Amino acid sequence: MHHVIIASLMILAVLPAGGKAQNSSRDPQRAILVTGASTGIGRKITEQLAADGYFVYAGARKEADLQSLGAIKNVQALRLDVTKPADIDAAVATIVKGGHGLYGLVNNAGVVTVAPLIDTKPEEFDLVMMVNVYGPYRMTKAFAPLIVAQQGRIINIGSISGILNETEAGAYQMSKHAMETFTDTLAQELAPSGVRVSIVEPGSYKSEIFKNEVNRSGTGAQEAKDWEKLKEPDEVAAAVKLALSDPKSKRRYMVVPDQGEAEETIKTQVAQLVQLNEGQPYTYDRKTLIKMLDDALVGARPRSQ
């Protein structure tokens, strides 16, 4: 733990003298960087944060998307591909020069590939990991000094696929399972610096992630049609806003459009608990497990409206 505290102090030491106080006094408007902001969840997060008065740096790759994002009040579009270190370095330079500092990072950019795991093409598997896992790692590493300076927030956009396991999307699910550990580890390591880390875990909401998969590799056509009919991700954006603003933000925000997805996700967690507990030398009986659950529920938040 001592090395975590020392590392945090070293990060602060490399910032310009008085950087934190200067940002807060000169520019009280908090700045948030959202990756993958061109469509779907990222676009909705960008629009809602900007409407609430945040200054949003919106990352996208295509010129048309950059133009569209830049037309939104309180938004500055950034050309940003999270797989390209040069783009990330340029984004850091732009944000430092902008003078707002950076209070929050929303790691939203993501891709999916549709195929049984053993049939997934290596290049597709690599792309999913580069965008969904390496991307958040590189972004967080690059922007940590700015976020630490403001004792800000890091929000990772995961998925209930990081808990569930289904066929035909193994690479994507592996990446989202990885984001669960990424979030927990970051939260522990950055806590001494005052930074809070959360993961928002959406269920099935309207998105172009499968449409992009069709355009890239030709698979996922049916999924693309199905996802176009889903509910708009306003609830996901609302969860991100809460994670950014709540003084005692949660570690995990599951956001699903219906009770069925909530039940499936929670039941999967319970089934995993049973599997871990059964048939090992220190197996706990039902009474003890229920007591553990009751103890864990102490202080749990009430049902949201």
Catalytic (active-site) positions: 172
Of the candidates 32, 49, 36, the residue with the CA atom closest to the CA atom of residue 239: 49
Of the candidates 67, 27, 72, the residue with the CA atom closest to the CA atom of residue 46: 72
Question: Which tokens in the block code for residue 229?
Answer: 């009919």
Enter the DSSP assignment of 193.
G
What's the rounded Cα separation, in Å, for the pair 294 and 175?
A: 31
What's the rounded Cα separation, in Å, for the pair 73 and 262?
A: 35
- For CA atoms 11, 17, 19, 21, the dihedral sign is positive
First vs last C-alpha separation in the chain: 38
What's the rounded Cα separation, in Å, for the pair 153 and 197?
A: 6
Which stretches within the chain are classed as H helix? 2-13, 19-26, 40-51, 63-70, 85-98, 122-129, 135-149, 170-190, 209-217, 221-228, 234-245, 259-277, 286-297
- β-bridge partners, 76: 57
Place of tokens 């009040």: 73
Burial 148-161 (b: 16+ CB within 10 A, else e): bbbebbbbbbbbbb
Question: Which tokens in the block code for residue 259?
Answer: 């009770």
Question: Which tokens in the block code for residue 39?
Answer: 């469509």
